[in-house]
Structure 1
Amino acid sequence: MRRKVSNPLALAVLAFLVMGPQHPYELGKQLKETGKDRDIKYNRGSLYMVFEQLLKAGFVTEQETVKDTQRPERTVYALTDTGRDELYDWMRELVRDPVHEYPQFGVALSLISVLDPAETVELLHTRAAALTKVLDDTRAMVAKATGDGVEWIFLVEEDYRISVLEAELRLVEKLTGELSQADYQRRWHEVFGRNT
């Protein structure tokens, strides 16, 4: 389905507005404080642009403009009924329907045969070490959050991240072993060695 606004940041804005009207700056602070910025890339300019797109699409409305003596005028936005419908429809689609994504590592794997196997093994060892560090850091963050009383449902994206990282690490280790085999290295040099 083609959506009027398809940016993942827009989905996050709609989800946060379910809890009540907000100013973009405050919503941005909440994205950072809750760690959602680990999954949703944004900056201040892109956040304001998404609010404008959502306003134009009829998914949010300007609820009020607040003026106090210390800050410039701030517009507070609220979710419309159409925006609420869009949020739930979009979320259902994302949870229900698998889609093919194009991660950069997948691109590299599809073309990896052009690299010398010995060099590739070194690169994969480096990647494995980096993946292990990210896994350790993520597990520590989840353990701390759980210890601080954060409910598991608010950490489910981190469980997903851990599962994906573990699967990638297993693949990297398997691939490293296969590329290290003398038979593969000999065949690679017969095909590609003269072109490097």
Structure 2
Amino acid sequence: MPARRRKLSNPLALTVLTTLWQKPMHPYEIAQTMRQQGKDASTKINYGSLYTVVQNLQKHGFVEVTDVERQGNRPERTVYGITEAGREEMTEWLSDLVAVPVKEFPIFETALSLLGALPPDDVVRLLKERLDALEVQVAGGRGVLDKFRETLPRLFLVESEYQLHMAEAQAEWVRGLLEEIRTESLPGVAQWRRLHETGEWPPDFT
């Protein structure tokens, strides 16, 4: 079943809704809470646009003003809370994201689809650089995850586990592709090499 078309599609809006689901907050507190809970590691968060996101949520009836805080000479702070419509939207939107696979377009996939434009030896060198970076990322991710496991329930670490697993899977796949290109056991590597040496397209490439 396809995901429903949403009035708001920015994942930051969903993150704001789930943050306000915890309790009413003013935008600055929303930003602080998202940082403290590590949401910026799994969602692209532009804190400068946070106020606009909150205003859009209010326009669609998903959040509402619950209070205006005044402290001394400081500017007023508007506190927002999630509405019943916001709770329904949050639940349906999050459920769709969990249940319905969506074709995404990671930039690495784009690069792989265009790989033939680089000479094989360059690709070997570049994939080796990527593999080295992935191995550092995996090692660091394991260390951070082990540290967090000492104080946090696993429920709050599943996205970090997923990120680590995906990095490990990518590293394993890159390692295999790298070896196939290096040893020319990948079909078409010889023609690929000749293409860059002669500038002529092999017949089976066209």
TM (normalized to structure 1)? 0.95
Structure 1's unaligned 5+ residue stretches are none
Q: Name which of structure 1's ranges 62-71 and 96-105 shifts more when overlaid on structure 2.
A: 62-71
Percent identical: 39
Quote the RMSD (CA, aligned, Å).
1.5
How far is the alpha carbon of 1:185 from its aligned partner? 4.2
Structure 2's unaligned 5+ residue stretches are 201-206
Aligned-partner Cα distance in 2 for 1:36–1:114: 37
Aligned-partner Cα distance in 2 for 1:42–1:70: 30
Corresponding residue of 2:75 = 72
Q: 1:179 aligns with which of 178, 181, 185?
A: 181
Aligned-partner Cα distance in 2 for 1:111–1:23: 46
Q: 2:109 aligns with which of 106, 111, 120?
A: 106
Q: Which residues of 2 match residues 147-186 of structure 1 at below 5 A?
A: 147=150, 149-182=151-184, 184-186=188-190
Aligned-partner Cα distance in 2 for 1:190–1:124: 20
Q: Which residues of 2 match residues 86-165 of structure 1 at below 5 A?
A: 86-147=89-150, 149-165=151-167
How far is the alpha carbon of 1:31 from its aligned partner? 1.0
Q: 2:51 aligns with which of 25, 48, 64?
A: 48
Aligned residues: 195
Aligned-partner Cα distance in 2 for 1:61–1:47: 15
How far is the alpha carbon of 1:178 from its aligned partner? 1.2
How far is the alpha carbon of 1:65 from its aligned partner? 1.1
Corresponding residue of 1:36 = 39
Q: Deviations over 1:63-87 (max 9, x none)?
A: 1111111521110000000000000
TM (normalized to structure 2)? 0.90
Query: Any idea what SS the aligned residue of 1:170 has?
Result: helix
The question of 1:190 aligning with 2:194 is answered yes
Q: Deviations over 1:132-161 (max 9, x none)?
A: 1111111111111111x2000100001110
